[in-house]
Amino acid sequence: MQHFLDINSFSATELWQFLKKAKALKDELKTNGSNKPILAGKTLGMIFQKPSLRTRVSFEVGMLHLGGQAVYISPQEIGLGKRESVADVARVLSGYVDGIMARVFSHDHILELAEYSRVPVINGLSDYNHPCQALTDVFTMWEHFGRIEGLTMAYVGDGNNMATSLVIAAAKLGFHINIASPAGYSLPPTILSQAKSLTEDTEVNILVTEDSIEAVTDVDVIYTDTWASMGQEAESQERLKVFPPYQVNNKLVAFAKPEAVVMHCLPAHRGEEITDEVADGPQAIVFPQAENRLHAQKAILALLL
């Protein structure tokens, strides 16, 4: 049994297995109009502490495409760690379903679910990282450019769970990454140290800066995320004062390569971290990226369940 908890749990070879499976499943769907029911009779239990559009629909539809089914479990039905202990939830669900996907606030809940579950656990998002989205993102880059290794991504914004997953993905899969964040909002030092240790014997460059222009100059990909994630609403007004110099707008995008693309994991707060002109512009691949959540997560389901 294998869980999907973070990008760092997998080797580059294993990550490429997921990416190639995602491509095969996407190609099969586009060619035939359907996927083979390789998960017939399988059920995925989906635990949600946070609201979701892409995570819920992509996992639910993904299971249907592969012949299985998914069961949505709302925050009110479990009260994870409150109404019922995480360990008990894991042990109970293990007797009902073939896999558990959880979208939570605390990463400790993901780790505890995995510790006590008898079926694979998939991290649909936690405060620490977002591995399903990162896998989707590198799949989208591979699909667009025909390669991953040697590309350069600029991540502009909060050094959050998304930045954590992307910097580890860069270190594992061989693309360079520049991370521009305001002082006090940069990538956690432990994550940066971990990523740099993975690149000691490679040519991967990791740049951390407070200068957004330095970060995006001559890059292939510009990536941004919301300035205040779910659970940080109390900080949103303060963040709105600090982050405007990190807005991805036409002026900033002009410093990247002419053929550079713009990515966002969504939901976007238009007019804050990204402008309409960029999000809806010719360089944005935001919505193909969103669609690829379905295909990348089907690969995870196919290989784990």
Q: Is 133 an annotated catalytic residue?
A: yes
Give the alpha-carbon dihedral of 188, 194, 198, 201, to 10 degrees: 90
* DSSP-based three-state secondary structure for 73: strand
What is d(CA 62, CA 21) in angstroms, rounded to the nearest whole number? 13
In 3D, which of 260, 261, 299, 267 has the Cα closest to residue 131?
A: 299
**Residue in 137, 265, 289, 295 annotated catalytic:** 265
What is d(CA 135, CA 43) in angstroms, rounded to the nearest whole number? 22
**Residue in 130, 176, 239, 264 annotated catalytic:** 130
DSSP secondary structure letter of residue 98: S
Q: Is 103 an annotated catalytic residue?
A: yes
Give me the DSSP letters along 153-209: EEEES--SHHHHHHHHHHHHHT-EEEEE--TTSSPPHHHHHHHHHHTTTS---EEEE
Q: Tell me, what amino acid is at 301? A: L
DSSP secondary structure letter of residue 282: T
Please give the angle made by the CA atoms of 129, 132 and 135, to the nearest 5 degrees: 105
**Residue in 133, 247, 289, 297 annotated catalytic:** 133
Q: Is 56 an annotated catalytic residue?
A: no
Q: Is 293 an annotated catalytic residue?
A: yes
**Residue in 49, 225, 295, 297 annotated catalytic:** 225
In 3D, which of 209, 211, 216 has the Cα closest to residue 278?
A: 216
Q: Strands of 176-180's sheet, edge to edge?
A: 206-209, 176-180, 152-156, 221-224, 261-264
Position of tokens 């769907």? Answer: 29
Backbone angles phi, psi at 294, to 5 degrees: -60, -50
Peptide bond into 258 cis (omega under 30): no
Q: Is 130 an annotated catalytic residue?
A: yes
**Residue in 3, 103, 176, 264 annotated catalytic:** 103
Q: Is 239 an annotated catalytic residue?
A: no
- List, by residue number, the catalytic residues: 103, 130, 133, 225, 265, 293
